[in-house]
Structure 1
């Protein structure tokens, strides 16, 4: 499926680029979320006319995410969870929990889909977690998972 991008998308392309993607990804994500248009002559002309407006809108979004990234960049967050004797947690920590904790501590809106986990957070320890706000704005945080102290 050939599409024209309406915004910069990480590992895919920039505004106005013609890209070839799998049908499911194109239909279910790019077209549905308004991130692309089907490639044809009319849409190509439309995107070329609106390119400046799209770039300005993209810059506004990028600047908004830069502000949020400043709030959380290199910050450390702590979770206290029940664990087994060997340090394994009874359940892993998911992006939704991380998102809620960041919102609670810094009042920054971070979507769970923006949180990139390189590994399962299922043991006590310290983890580095990347946050991808925008194709050009990234941040990272440190998560410390500790055992709940019981008496």
Structure 2
């Protein structure tokens, strides 16, 4: 199915580009999230007209993402979790927990879907976590997992 992109998407394409994707991906993700339109003649003409406006919005999002990236890049966050004697956690540290941690410490609202742990956080120690703020802007933080003495 051919669609026209309304946003720059990592590994997919850029604004105004006509790409061929599977129907389910187009219907369930791209079109439902207003990231693309069906590639009809009318839509192609419409996108050509508003392409500059879409580019401006994208650059604004990129600038905002860069500001956030400057604030959190290479920062270290500490999280307390219950663990066993051999330093393994009961459960793991999920992106939602990391998102809440950043919100508490820096008052920045980062969606859990933007957070990608490089390795699964299932033990005590320091872990690198990649945060994709924009298709062209990402930053890396360190999560320091320490033992919690009591249940919170």
Asked if these proteins are the same fold (TM beyond 0.5), I'd say yes
| Matched length | 150
Following superposition of structure 1 onto structure 2, how do residues 1-151 of structure 1 map, counting pairs within 5 Å?
A: 1-149=1-149
Tell me, yes or no, if the aligned pair for 1:6 and 1:34 is still in contact at 8 Å: yes
Q: Distance in 2 between matches of 1:57 and 1:111?
A: 19
Q: Distance in 2 between matches of 1:48 and 1:13?
A: 16
1:17-75, Cα deviation, whole Å (9 max, x unpaired): 11111222211111011100011111111111111000001111111111111111110
1:85-104, Cα deviation, whole Å (9 max, x unpaired): 11110011110000000010
Q: SS where residue 56 of structure 1 aligns?
A: helix
Structure 2, unmatched stretches of 5+, are none
TM-score normalised to structure 2 length: 0.95
Please tell me the root mean square deviation across aligned C-alpha atoms, in Å: 1.0
* Higher relative strand content: 1
TM-score normalised to structure 1 length: 0.95
User: Which stretches of structure 1, 4 residues or more, deviate above 4 A after TM superposition?
Assistant: none
